[in-house]
Amino acid sequence: MAWPHGSSPWLNEEIGRRMEDRLQWIRLQPKSWMDWAPVNGGLQTHAKLRARYPQAQCRVVETSVARELLARQALQAPWWKRWLKSDALTFGSPLVGSADMVWANMALHISNDPLALLQKWHNSLAAEGFLMFSCLGPDTIRELTDVYQSQSWPPASHAFTDMHDWGDMLVQAGFGEPVMDMERITLTYANAGHLLAECRLLGRNLHKDRFAGLRGKEWLARLKTALLALASSDQDGRLTLTVEVIYGHALKPLPKLKLQKQSTVSLQDMKTLLGKSLGPRSV
């Protein structure tokens, strides 16, 4: 799908900034990392990560050819610089077992198969590599949901997954030691027009029972009137929306070998185990 905006959503950039700040607590310094869908997740955030790990190889994985082109235009050095010096930035599909860190900002809640996406990230990680991700939680735009319910309209948004369920899915996908965190951010708007423009920027309603057709001007006027109920006296009468942000961190553990009287071990698992047992261990 084409990207209809001129830049990454500002809220995604802000959440990416907050998640990037958490990397100061991670001792492992990745030699290679993968940035999943930075056009949506944050092009400015990508630059912060490149500055934090200037010597690391980075692979950008986008969700469409059009978005990869935008990412190349925004992130890739000019051709003459790449000719003079090899670039640490590459583009394309995920490489199995290649990344010490997978960075995925604001991607899980817009996936139609999040478990499969988690498994794809797991496959992209080297043993003892780690995943950093963020997504929206179930309290997101709860005020807008209430307005739609009060008008007997179809749902304003698809349901967002609770952070405890994300933890369970991480384990199911093969990750170990998942750590989940959550915060709520209050957004305020001067009027309904600004609020709706922001919602269009931040994402789409993926609910299966959403209204399938096009709305008219009369419905839009009715919606703007209904949104006046979101005015808060604590915010000088501005319209308010809640955003729940979930942050997750998890490791890819060493492969577990089931030992029997006669056991078969893949060559890749054997190389991984030998490499980790003979080399220094990062924590």
| Cα separation, 143 vs 184, whole angstroms | 13
How crowded is residue 248: how many other Cβ atoms within 10 Å of its Cβ?
24
Strands in 69-151 per DSSP E: 89-91, 99-105, 125-136
Q: Is the C-alpha dihedral spanning 224, 226, 227, 233 positive or negative?
A: positive
The residue-averaged pLDDT of 96-123 equals: 96
- What are the structural domains, with CATH classification, of the chain? 10-136+159-184+245-278 (3.40.50.150)
Percent of the chain exceeding pLDDT 90 equals 68
Report which residue type is found at 201.
L
**What strands lie across the sheet with 125-136, from one edge to the other?**
89-91, 57-61, 32-36, 99-105, 125-136, 239-251, 176-189
- Over residues 30-56, mean pLDDT: 96
Residue-wise pLDDT tens digits, 126-161 = 999 999 999 999 999 999 999 999 999 998 888 999
pLDDT at 280 over 60: no
DSSP-derived secondary structure letter, 190: S
Whole-angstrom distance, CA of residue 254 vs CA of residue 129? 9
pLDDT digits (tens, 9 = 90+) for 159-178: 999 999 999 999 999 999 99
Local structure of 234: helix, strand or coil = helix
pLDDT at 270: 54
Q: Is the pLDDT of residue 248 over 50?
A: yes
User: What is the average per-residue pLDDT within 223-243?
Assistant: 90
Average pLDDT, the chain: 87
Residue 232 one-letter amino acid: S
Return the pLDDT at 200: 83
- Residue 179 main-chain phi, psi, to 5 deg: -125, 125
